[in-house]
Amino acid sequence: MSASASIGRATFVSAVVDGVLAVVGLAVTPLLVRHLGTEPYGVIGLVTVLSTQLSTLQLGVGPALLRALGEARGRDDAAALRATLKAGALLSALSALVIGLVAWVLAPRAWSDAFATSAEVRPQALAAVPATALLLALQPLLAVLYASLSGLERFPLLNAIRLFHGLVRSILGAIVAVRGGGLIGVLLAQAAADAVAIAVVPVVFRAALPPATGTTPVRAAASHILRLGVPLSVAGIASGLLLDGDKIALGTLRSVAEVAYYTVPLGVVGRLGSFAGTACIFLVPRLAAAAMAGRTEESARLAARATRLGLCLTAAAAAPLVAIAPELLALWLGPAFAERSTPAARVLLVGLAVQASIYGAHAAIRARAHASTLAVVYALELPVFALLLYLLVRPWGVIGAAFAWALRLLADAALQHALARRSLGARVVPLALPALAVGVLALFALACHAAGAHAPALRLAGGLAMSAGALALLPADDRESLLRALWLAPNRGAA
């Protein structure tokens, strides 16, 4: 493990990649909204929803690969490593075929019966069904590709591929939209970018695999992946509804146009929090390998540090955006769009801090707990979330969806921290830390909302002061770890 890439540095590079892609997204989104229209752009958001809901048919292969590859590396078993990769590729190909067929059948019903699509846009959505099915069929192959690189800790290659793929996907879609390709053209452009990544990357990293000194049957590796993955896939049914329930509720209870007003700030929030989510993904194989080697104290230390860094850095990044959210949205998409999206954006940014506090605990559960644990958690949360959506979205629309999302994350944080403590035999972090960071950020968001459009400079100064305060919460060893991740201090270890 000493030769492994630093998780901190890999996460920093991943954050840079996400920052570049976020900037590109900021430029591309207005082009898509302008040339496609607000409602067709909402259709693209709902295609993402369909992808998430069909992800259960991926059989949990991607998440299972992270743990299976970590275990093989912990045993130093090159044969099992290669067999696991082959089995993952075969299972993902089967999932791709099934998802493509199911999408072809279900997508027409979704646009005709489920979502509140206007008479003008519905024919566009129905004509785009083949392109939608192709795009969704490629997602399990892409998921396994990224999971394989993460599980092998090939972080430099992973980040390079993510950057190249994200740039091509965004820019190609924008070019097609500007040239009048419409909804179908944009979806096909995204599918083409995904297909190129899927075809090229395995050829690039195949030679970097360690030589195998024995043999492990692919069937045995596939069975192990499915034993880990199927419970995760069952959890994915509930987690998919938890992830997209807000957008589904807006599309069915309100309108597809409101999905666009919601998904635009949600997409920015997702980009902002992606570095903490990436650290979680990187952490799973490391925790699994440490557990296989009997290093339980290392597992607890890594999970705790990931939680503190993720929470404080996310809160520090979110506070200035909470302060000047209306100005930024107006500059980006116009005053009318900003008026509809600003309150939801602020609630989502506060919820993002809650989400960041979960990632360390989530990684510990995926690496150490029984594979069905998350399925139980999500099954408990789902009916509560559905009730919140029904009560909040119907009368209040976009802001109601944002509040339901944030409240659900509070419950998720409490449950996952308790389960991680059982899995690790130690508390990830004292709950007072996330409670303090989230509570102060929520009060600041409320004060900014009360201030309305007045004193943007004063609001921004308050946000920057809050950022400094969030960073000050980090212990000295965490700050040193952060400096190592930024190449501002010598690297003393793999973590």
The per-residue pLDDT for 204 is 67
The per-residue pLDDT for 209 is 64
- 257, 404 Cβ separation under 8 angstroms: no
Joined tokens for residue 273: 């929090």
For 304-358, the DSSP string reads HHHHHHHHHHHHHHHHHHHHTHHHHHHHHH-HHHHHHHHHHHHHHHHHHHHHHTT
pLDDT class of 243 with cuts at 50, 70, 90: confident
Q: pLDDT exceeding 70 applies to what percent of the chain?
A: 91
The per-residue pLDDT for 187 is 94
Does residue 82 register a pLDDT over 60?
yes
H or E element, residue 161: helix 155-178
Phi and psi at 76, nearest 5°, equal 55, 45
Residue 218: alpha-carbon gap to chain centroid? 30
Least confidently predicted of 48-57, 152-161, 206-215, 437-446: 206-215
- 428, 360 Cβ separation under 8 angstroms: yes
Residue 446: alpha-carbon gap to chain centroid? 26
Longest dimension (CA), the chain: 69
User: Phi/psi class of residue 490: alpha, beta or left (left: φ > 0; alpha: ψ in -120 to 50)?
Assistant: beta
Q: What is the pLDDT of residues 415-468, one digit of tens each?
A: 999 888 887 777 777 778 888 889 999 999 999 999 887 888 999 999 999 999
Gyration radius of the chain's alpha carbons: 22
Question: Residues in the chain, how many?
Answer: 495
pLDDT class of 116 with cuts at 50, 70, 90: confident
The per-residue pLDDT for 207 is 60
Give residue 376's identity as a one-letter amino acid code: V
Does residue 399 register a pLDDT over 60?
yes
pLDDT class of 206 with cuts at 50, 70, 90: low
Q: What is the pLDDT of residues 36-81, one digit of tens each?
A: 888 888 888 888 877 776 776 777 888 888 888 888 887 778 888 8
Q: What mean pLDDT do residues 252-261 have?
A: 86
Does residue 491 register a pLDDT over 80?
no
Does residue 3 register a pLDDT over 60?
no
CA distance 178 to 483: 42
The per-residue pLDDT for 492 is 57
- How does 133-167 read in b/e, with b if 16+ C-beta sit within 10 Å? bbbbbbbbbbbbbbbbbbbbbbbeebbbbbbbbbe
Distances (CA, A) of 131 to 28, 103, 274, 311, 372: 20, 10, 27, 38, 34
CA distance 460 to 131: 43
Asked whether the CA dihedral 466, 476, 289, 493 is positive or negative, the reply is positive
Give residue 155's identity as a one-letter amino acid code: F
Terminal alpha carbon distance of the chain: 9
- How does 417-445 read in b/e, with b if 16+ C-beta sit within 10 Å? bebbeebbebebbeeebbebbbebbbebb
- 307, 363 Cβ separation under 8 angstroms: no
Highest mean pLDDT among 29-38, 174-183, 331-340: 174-183
pTM above 0.85, yes or no: no
- How does 356-373 read in b/e, with b if 16+ C-beta sit within 10 Å? bbbbbbbbbbbbbbebeb
What lies within 8 Å, CB to CB, of 331 at 6+ separation is: none
